[in-house]
Amino acid sequence: MATIEKQAQGEAGKEEMGSSKQPLQKMFNRIPGRYDFLNRLMTMGLDQGWRKKAAACIIEERPRKVLDLGTGTGDMALYLAAKIPDAEVTGYDFSAPMLNVAKKKAERKKINNVIFVEGDAADILFKDDSFDIVAVSFAFRNMIYKNRNNHLYIKEIFRILKPGGKLICLESGQPQGRFVRFLFHKYMKFVPGGIAKCLSGYKEAYFYLSNSVMNFYYRDFLLTFLQNHGFHPVKYHPMFFGVVAITIARKPCVVY
């Protein structure tokens, strides 16, 4: 089997939380209260700027229907709904407690062109060819990393996109430079771990975060993975020394 396929499926015995839906779902159900605060803390406030960069790629497409998959507390969905008032934005997530935070934010900000729907990204509740854009911010890793069912997520994203529609994915990356990668991995090893020690109940979540970010797939793997599922072209834009990246993958207008 090709190395990339092996990496995609997760070697037997080495699979982690991503392989089964429930542990990951339980983990996210426990953290919504402090999720936004800890994101800002760990990224030193940079995460919102990265979301805005990914959102700019979406806004320039002038979409009418956008799905924010793994929307969590809804930051990306709410930002897009506010910036594209004539678009219908749907935030989709399998964690009801995360969605409750998102819904409260929408009410507080009086944003009406957004809805939040509970469901699993491996079996999306929408019809074929429904969306111009599927956005995924910091949730793609949760869906595909060391998960032998990761093809289900990609197939579902492909299915619900309209022909010519795009997947725009913001996710942690692997810096190309060895020294930056070394520093990034040290940071990921100690900072989320430190947070986990200070906040009981968060240990598992931040151990998973460290581990999955440090071992997440490289650019070439992701590009091949998406191309093998029918997306073309697929482009990868690293940001902040490659610590994060925006991947843009188009569903061709004619699918053979």
Please report, as ranges, the residues that interact with ligand SAM according to CB under 6 A.
Answer: 21, 24, 28, 70-72, 75-76, 93-95, 98, 120-122, 137-139, 142-143
| Smallest separation (angstroms) from ligand SAM to the CB of 230 | 20
Closer to ligand SAM by CB, 137 or 247: give it.
137
| Smallest separation (angstroms) from ligand SAM to the CB of 95 | 4
DSSP code string of 116-138: EEE--TTS-SS-TT-EEEEEEES
Closer to ligand SAM by CB, 71 or 247: give it.
71
Query: Of 47, 58, 116, which is closest to residue 84 (Cα–Cα)?
Result: 58
| The two structure tokens encoding residue 65 | 């229907």
Residue 121: exposure state from Cβ atoms within 10 A (0-12, 13-18, ≥19):
buried
Closer to ligand SAM by CB, 54 or 87: give it.
54
| Smallest separation (angstroms) from ligand SAM to the CB of 213 | 10
Closer to ligand SAM by CB, 150 or 164: give it.
150
| Smallest separation (angstroms) from ligand SAM to the CB of 50 | 9
